[in-house]
Amino acid sequence: MTALYVLPRDVLARCLEFLPFDQALEVKQVSKVVRSAARRALTGRWRSIMFVEEQGLDLIENSTPSEWSEPRRVEVRRALATFRAAWELDAGLVVFEIAQWSDECYRRFLALVEPNIDGLSRVVAACERTYCFKTNSIANTYRGIHVPYRVAWPGDMLLAWSERVGRQLRLLVDDDMDEELVEQGLYIKDSDEGGYWGRKLFGSGLGEWADPELAAYFVFHLVERLPEPTGFEFVDFDDYWDWSANWWDRYKSSDFLSTAQEIIARESQWP
What's the number of domains the chain is made of? 2
Whether 228 is in a domain gets the answer: yes
Q: Tens digits of per-residue pLDDT, 159-218?
A: 999 999 999 898 877 666 677 777 778 888 865 555 557 888 999 999 999 999 999 999
What local confidence, expressed as pLDDT, does residue 259 receive?
Answer: 95
Whether 17 is in a domain gets the answer: yes
**Domain hosting residue 190, numbered range:** 155-271
Distances (CA, A) of 214 to 2, 183, 193, 206, 257: 38, 31, 28, 10, 11
Indicate if the pLDDT at residue 115 is higher than 90. Answer: yes
Whether 118 is in a domain gets the answer: no
Whether 171 is in a domain gets the answer: yes
Q: Where among 10, 26, 42 does a domain terminate?
A: 42
Whether 144 is in a domain gets the answer: no
What local confidence, expressed as pLDDT, does residue 2 receive?
Answer: 47
- What's 18's domain CATH number? 1.20.1280
Whether 127 is in a domain gets the answer: no
**Contact between 122 and 205 (Cβ < 8 Å):** yes
Nearest to 147 by CA among 160, 128, 126, 130: 130
Cα–Cα distance between 229 and 173 in angstroms, integer?
8
Threshold 0.85, pTM exceeds = no
Cα–Cα distance between 73 and 241 in angstroms, integer?
48
Whether 269 is in a domain gets the answer: yes
Whether 88 is in a domain gets the answer: no
80-94, 96-110, 111-125, 222-236: which has the minimum mean pLDDT? Answer: 222-236
